[in-house]
Structure 1
């Protein structure tokens, strides 16, 4: 029998009887994945950074330093951000392994080192997961955090708790879009994104995807997760804003004919920054895994061009080193 979504609510447009869906039209065409794989092989994409991987790492990487107790945010590579504010420490999509893959010997390989091993993380109070793709939900990393910090709360999209149940990881709360939960006085709201989910060939869109807004005494941090551009995302600013700090993806966007419905490019990330009304943003989802055809060093260059075109500067939308931090 066909699988039926046990969470289906006919009053919610993003719910379907067989899973979940975006509010925007589907942009992928039949045969698109096969075409993309063929073309990237023929064109030998992605190409290495202009000055090579070692020089790229020297430019954009540093070991993470968590010393002190000041409020701060660290970018730990790809979509992993650690935020410490008022004694609460939150980590987003922790992926600290060598591959974004279910296999140890195949799949996207980390091109820059992890700036911290899981065993060296500071105390984690909350883990937020945007969706179940392997570059955002890493089994070894979440198990390591659950073992080291048994009181940590895992916040996950609707439909993903059953994966954590199978992994025997507790303290899990799953939320639908616009639902909220409180942890130690901070309110976490699961907000929409334009993306999709799958962890196998048989579970496409059976769990939801999205971003998270943490509200803490008037301060709001938005982690966008993975998303394509949509003008409907401006609702995040209206309903969950104003946003003091955002973590916005800028990489894995090429070729646009294939990726635009699921990953923003740097110019679209700047557009979201403006439309949602973010005070400051951190660029994430670049510089670690080669998931698309863009070179590792292209997103920061294009981000700079997009910011200049909008009259914004590097303090508005920040490029941190992998392992770098900013004070909050």
Structure 2
């Protein structure tokens, strides 16, 4: 097997499969999702384990069958309205801009908030191999408005990019706060990033009057062969006065969506992952498919949802442009209107109606 073939088989999958065992002696707080072997998922059934044999079976079949197929059309892209985004500095005019994959810029509560910022050419521990961007970010990092808050869902390379967060911290200084799941504060400190708050599931940190909460999702974490599930993962719930919104990060479908709604009420906007879902025998526990994302939209009681985590990096067996087509079919089957759950072009900004100022936070 040549090095190139080995890279084709293993490196993209390493971002998703986590074949190494966890390191021993993790702290155990007594909470159900904390164990001495690391963190585990909300239902307390343990980590999402796939043996190396399953990983190689998947990657070999994909190579043999020529998967993923090429997209029928490039991911839609438009020029960002940078002037409008920079001018939007006051609460009351919320917006969301899709930068690509799981990276979005959300303006709410007078804050500029980035989710899972990845601006590098590859989602990989190295920049000479691994999944490569299909197109540049919708907004270049240097063109962003001043960032107040960066929300990181977990430590996989397509969600936490070292070069991006280091540059954001350098540019933002004390203004830019990074809020991360448990265990990632130490990693950030090793990169020289110190303006960091780490949270456990259901913890809340308030930024300039805006509550930010880490909520459970079904996933896992790893950046090396020896740190599987040593740091936590999660979604984010932000309850700004002008917009209550949810960001899924990476997740399989499970009961945590209903639990989030039961504890915190419905949301105005949900940013839900709809890509990286084939083959289902390998991906189901860790990534939703579009039909499951539609159910998550309903579970959350979302007024509007936007599909993200597609069209940017080839990570799994579906074509880059397949998720929106599958989303349309799933939406129709579930009786969800197109305007209630759709997708955006990379670089596009959607301006959202502000919440009624008389409506109290749940």
**TM-score range normalised by the length of the shorter chain:** over 0.9
SS at match of 2:324: helix
Query: Which residue in 1 is equivalent to 2:6?
Result: none
d(CA) in 1 for partners of 2:327, 2:346: 16
SS at match of 2:268: strand
TM-superposed deviation, 1:144: 1.3
Choose the corresponding residue for 1:9, options 16, 29, 33: 29
CA deviation vs aligned residue, 1:200-249 (integer Å, no higher than 9, x gap) = 11100000000110111273110110000102331011112221101000
CA deviation vs aligned residue, 1:152-184 (integer Å, no higher than 9, x gap) = 110000011110010010110000000000111
CA deviation vs aligned residue, 1:89-111 (integer Å, no higher than 9, x gap) = 10100001110001010010001
SS at match of 1:103: coil
> Residues 21 and 308 of structure 1: is their aligned pair in 2 closer, same or farther, counting only changes over 3 Å?
same
Matched, 1:116 2:139: yes
d(CA) in 2 for partners of 1:197, 1:241: 28
Query: Which residue in 1 is equivalent to 2:82?
Result: 66
d(CA) in 1 for partners of 2:242, 2:24: 42
Matched, 1:231 2:255: yes
d(CA) in 2 for partners of 1:79, 1:232: 19
Choose the corresponding residue for 1:20, options 39, 49, 71: 39
Q: How many residues align?
A: 319
Q: Is the contact made by 2:274 and 2:308 (CA closer than 8 Å) also made in structure 1? A: yes
TM-superposed deviation, 1:29: 4.5
TM-score by length of 1: 0.94
Query: Which residue in 1 is equivalent to 2:69?
Result: 47
Query: Which residue in 1 is equivalent to 2:226?
Result: 202
d(CA) in 2 for partners of 1:63, 1:262: 32
Pairing of 1:280-295 with structure 2 (within 5 A):
280-295=304-319
TM-superposed deviation, 1:325: 1.2
Choose the corresponding residue for 2:74, options 45, 56, 67: 56
Choose the corresponding residue for 1:83, options 97, 101, 106: 106
d(CA) in 2 for partners of 1:100, 1:65: 26
Greater fraction of residues in helix: 2
Choose the corresponding residue for 1:212, options 208, 222, 236: 236
> Residues 206 and 29 of structure 1: is their aligned pair in 2 closer, same or farther, counting only changes over 3 Å?
closer
Q: Is the contact made by 1:28 and 1:258 (CA closer than 8 Å) also made in structure 2? A: no
Moved over 6 A (4+): none
TM-superposed deviation, 1:27: 5.7
Runs of at least 5 residues in structure 1 that lack an aligned partner in the other structure: none
- Cα root mean square deviation, aligned: 1.4
CA deviation vs aligned residue, 1:288-312 (integer Å, no higher than 9, x gap) = 0011101011100000011111111
TM-score by length of 2: 0.85
Q: Which region of structure 1 is more displaced relative to structure 2, 32-41 or 16-25?
A: 16-25
Query: Which residue in 2 is equivalent to 1:266?
Result: 290
Runs of at least 5 residues in structure 2 that lack an aligned partner in the other structure: 1-22, 353-362
TM-superposed deviation, 1:86: 3.5
Choose the corresponding residue for 2:150, options 98, 111, 127: 127
Matched, 1:307 2:331: yes
TM-superposed deviation, 1:67: 2.1
